[in-house]
Structure 1
C-alpha cells in the first residue's frame, strides 16, 4: 500500500508567485508591526487599519498565480496511489488554483469574511471596512476569516489525526518559527514517519528532519515530486 503523505506549506512556497513573507523588505508586512495588523488586540485598537491591510493582501492574492511548486503538489495529489494531504499556513488560494483538493487552511483564507458577533462566514468582498455588515445578523462586525497571533488555528483535530497516520511528512517553505506548525515534524517523527524539509535556506528546525533540500521552491519541489513519482 502506498504511503500517506502530509505536506505542510508556508509562505516560502508562494513567494515566487509574488506574495511576500514576514521577512521581505519593501512588502506589505514591512510597512506594519505584526502586533498592529495580525492580532485581535490590533484589530480592536484600529479596525480600519487592519481592514485596509487585509484588503490590500486580498487584492494582491487574487492577482497572483500558482507557480511550479503549487502545480507539482497538485500533480502529486493526482498521481500518487495513496493519500496526499496539504496543510497550509498560507491564506492565499494558490494550492486550489493549481488543482489541489485536499487542502486544510490552518490559518484561514483571505477570500473569507467572519462575523465577530454570530460567527457566520461568507465570501469576502475585495474591500471590507469596520461598517461592513454580516449578511446573517446584519451586525457591522465583519473581520477577515484568518487566524491571528494568539488565536487557535483551524482544523487542528483533523490535522493531528492526519499526523498520527502519516508515513511521509514534508515541510515546504516554512520558517520553523510559528507554532503549532513548527512542532508537526516532531509529531510525525514520533509516529515513525520519514521527514523531509524543502526550503530556500536552513530553518529554525532543519535538524529535526531526516532529509533537507535547499533552494527555490519552484526548483526543489518539482524535483522532489518527480523523484517520488519516478
Structure 2
C-alpha cells in the first residue's frame, strides 16, 4: 500500500523537477529576448508559444505523438539520443510537462522584463558592463518577482499535467504513472481510499504553491 502510494509521487517529483528546470531556464531566456525585440512576425511566434495554454491537453498530446513518431525528424533525433523512442517513457512525460507549463513561465518572465526601467540597464552598460552582466546583475534581480511567480505557477502546472502525459507517456505503473494519472486509474478501478490520498496531497501542494505566488506578488 505504501509503495503503491509513493511510487507515482516519486516519479511525479522527478518529472516536475526536470521539466521545471527546463521551463524556468528557457522561459526566462525567451521572455527576455522577446521583451526586447520588435520584428515582423513576432505576434505569430508569441501566439505559437502561448498555444499550449489554451489548447485541449488531448490536442497537445496528439501533436506530440505525431512529432515524436519514428517517421518524424524530432522522433528520429530523440531515438538517437535515448537509444529508443521516448514515447511511453517517463521522458515523454517530461516533454509533455515542459510544453504545457512553458507559456506560464514565458508570459510571466516577459512581463517582468518589460516592466524594468531600461535606463538602469543603460547606465550599467555605460559603466562597462557587458550584456550578460547586465542580464544577471541588473535585469534578472529587477524582474525576480515576476520570474519567481511564473516559476512557481509553471511547476504547479507541470506537477498537475494529465491529458498530454497520458497520451504521450501512458499510464504504466512504476514506469510512467504520475500522481494525476494514478488518480484516474484508482477511480476507474474503485480504489477510492488511494485516490483520496493522492487528491488530498495534490490539493495541499497546489494550495501551498498558490499561497507562495500570492505572497511573492505583494
Task: Report the TM-score, using the length of structure 2 for normalisation.
Answer: 0.27
Larger Rg: 2
Task: Report the TM-score, using the length of structure 1 for normalisation.
Answer: 0.26
Q: Which structure features the higher share of helix residues?
A: 2
The higher-RCO structure (CA 8 Å, 6+ apart) is 2
